[in-house]
Amino acid sequence: MNVIRRLPEREKSPEKCCASKKVKGKYIDPWPSHRYRDGKYIKNTLKTIKVMAYSFVSQEKNKQLKVDINFEAIKNYYEENNKNDIQLTWLGHAAFLLQINGFTILLDPLLHKRASPLKFVGPYRCKERGFKSFADLPAIDLIIITHNHYDHLDRPTIKEIFREKKNKKCQILCPIGIKKWFRRKLLRIPSKQIIEADWWDDLEFAHLPENTNLNDKELVVNAFEEAKQKITISCVPCQHNSGRSIFDQNKTLWCGWVLKSHEHSLYYAGDTGYRSTPNKVPEENIEKYPYCPAFKQIGNIHGPFDLACIPVGPVYPASIISPDHANANDAVNIHIDCKSKHSIAMHWGTVEYLGLDNIKYGPKELREELKKKSIPYEQFHDVYIGEMVYLEKKEEN
């Protein structure tokens, strides 16, 4: 059986690892880098409504993005002669199938059509997910969620996962406040299968013998120490917000995640901004705006990373998008700050009308920013839906 346990709490400080913060019952981003720069709240709101007005259409707009999942490689991961420690398959937007140390994990799986509370309006997924049903995939051991926005926490996808018999014991990791969403009548996922985490919480996920008495703390500790199949998972900060309606804005936390096997480490940045700017800022003036310090803290504590998943977009209009979303320049800075050796671009090319920018925004702009900083494309690049990135097991001495 698979079990999650909490590790000792980490000491927090604004300089080394900033704690999550609530003001009047709502979480906030505790940095100067998260500000709406033009101060025109009504104008920003009207721009947001304009985004929604565009979203009634549902035709596919990004036909250039390839969809091709390597089911054979996914299946062969569990064979004894498999050489890979980590296999990461992009499923579009922020959704990934992660295979790590024998576990199968889904990250922010938006795998149905509409990222909205309504079926007929709102941002929509305009690219196929690449598989017919969850019967085509291995049993899912763990679902990891970064926040409760509709393009990251999708009820139809969660329901479909748990309808599959082999996924009934799947566990869930999510930031503070989201557990009750999974417990509602339409899902009814058992409480013991859902774990909430705060920024900088460290946890272990291990496969223990079925007869392990989980009420015996000493026995559980010994079982974790002896477990060969286990990973460490850490909840880390990001610069964003939360809410599924006007009534629950920022009442639940948002985060990124770090996952470590015996041999490799992966950073999943979640949905995040880096610095907030007004519209149409000259390139030479961008650096005067403060950036989020959390990514350097993550790199200092958990890095360097063998692999990272970093969002690129949406980006327009910057006055309302930039506090919460990274553009290509921001993404490259996050790559540098977190000390990633190899990064994959996500949060682009799949979901239409998250902003007013072209859904194809991402790869071209990313290449341009990498060139400016003399970073090889091989260190930070885009992939197609279904493309697999893998890290091989280290040879035993």
Mean pLDDT of 286-298: 96
State yes or no: pLDDT of 56 exceeds 60. no
Phi-psi group of 280: left, alpha or beta (phi > 0 → left; psi -120 to 50 → alpha; rest → beta): left
Query: What stretch of H or E contains 256?
Result: strand 256-260
Residue 58: pLDDT band by 50, 70, 90 thresholds? Answer: very low
For range 161-180, the mean pLDDT? 97
Q: What are phi and psi of 337, to 5 degrees?
A: -60, -40
Percent of the chain scoring above 70 in pLDDT: 92
pLDDT category of residue 32 using cuts at 50, 70 and 90 = very high
Q: What is the pLDDT of residue 35?
A: 82
Neighbours of 166 (CB within 10 A): 12
pLDDT at site 122:
80
| Predicted local confidence at residue 93, as pLDDT | 96
Give the three-class secondary structure for 203: strand
- Percent of the chain whose pLDDT exceeds 90: 75
Strand 307-311 versus strand 124-125 pairing type: unpaired
Split at pLDDT 50, 70, 90, the class of 61 is low
List, in order, residues 6 or more apart from 178 with CB less than 8 Å away: 145, 147, 148, 153, 196, 252, 253
pLDDT class for 49, splitting at 50, 70, 90?
low
| The pLDDT of residue 103 | 98
Reported pTM = 0.95
Report residue 5 as tokens. 């346990």
Q: Which residue has the higher pLDDT, 166 or 50?
A: 166
Q: Known binder of ligand: residue 150?
A: yes
Q: Is residue 236 over pLDDT 80?
A: yes
- 267 assigned binding-site residue: no
Whether the per-residue pLDDT at 327 is higher than 80: the answer is yes
pLDDT at residue 255 is higher than 70 = yes
Q: Lowest-confidence range among 2-6, 44-48, 140-144?
A: 44-48
**In one letter, which amino acid is 52?**
M
Mean of the per-residue pLDDT values of the chain: 92
Using one digit for the tens of pLDDT, what is the confidence trace for 331-367? 999 999 999 999 999 999 999 888 777 788 999 999 9
Q: Per-residue confidence at 45, pLDDT binned at 50, 70, 90? A: low
Q: How far apart are CA 320 and CA 173, in angstroms?
A: 29
Average pLDDT score over residue span 44-73: 69
Mean pLDDT value of segment 369-374 = 97
pLDDT, position 37: 61
Is the predicted pLDDT of residue 3 greater than 60, yes or no? Answer: yes
**What is the set of domains in the chain, with CATH numbers?**
2-392 (3.60.15.10)
Q: Give the Cβ contact number of residue 287 at 10 Å.
A: 11
Tokens representing 378 are 């091989």
Model confidence at 233: pLDDT above 90: yes
Q: Tell me the mean pLDDT in the region 154-175.
A: 97
